[in-house]
Amino acid sequence: MALSIIVLFAAAHCFYDERVGKVLPIERFSVGFGKRKRGWDAVEEHPERVQKRDIDAIHIPPEFHGVINSKEDDIAVLVLSTPIDESSYVIPACYDKVGGYEEELGRDSVGYVVGWGRTLNNIPSEELREANLPFISRSECQSIVPPSFRPYILAKDRFCAGETSGGEYPSSLQI
């Protein structure tokens, strides 16, 4: 049985104006599911898989203050105007707010991430990208990332993942 989903998690910093310390106007946002192209009106290869919705409410934890506190608690709860339908292209993901992942994940653990982000040439990607990244322990991460970057990746709600070969520091993934 498929679920109808009306609440979802997103990154709080996407909806927050740090200059004034407030959530941005809700009218500025809509969400899309099953999309592979970045552009809202981009022609999709499989348009029947895409679901677009308006947002009725954005809830951000009062502890979130953007860069001031290293973007800790960077999670928003969005309430959709109408439910989305679960399908083989739109499925729920789990969020473990209790933590304890460090004990469960080992060096051989690999996570699957997707997003538009930027390419290696620092150009915004128009196509959805995906990657498999190995987990890196907190202690190893602390020893290899630059001190100025540590507050952003070693916050209580984050963990390290990425390739460390070639002396480069790893990517930071939020959970």
Q: What is the mean pLDDT of residues 15-25?
A: 91
Global pTM exceeds 0.75: no
Size of the chain in residues: 175
Task: Round to whole Å and give the CA distance between 134 and 106.
Answer: 9
61-96 pLDDT, tens digit per residue, is 998 887 776 677 888 999 999 999 888 888 777 655
Task: Round to whole Å and give the CA distance between 116 and 129.
Answer: 6
Q: Domains of the chain: which residue ranges? A: 4-85, 101-174
133-146 pLDDT, tens digit per residue, is 888 887 888 888 78
Q: Which two tokens stand for residue 89?
A: 């292209």
Q: Which CATH superfamily is domain 101-174 in?
A: Trypsin-like serine proteases (2.40.10.10)
The answer as to CATH 3.40.50.2300 being correct for domain 4-85 is: no
Beta carbons of 129 and 117 less than 8 angstroms apart: yes
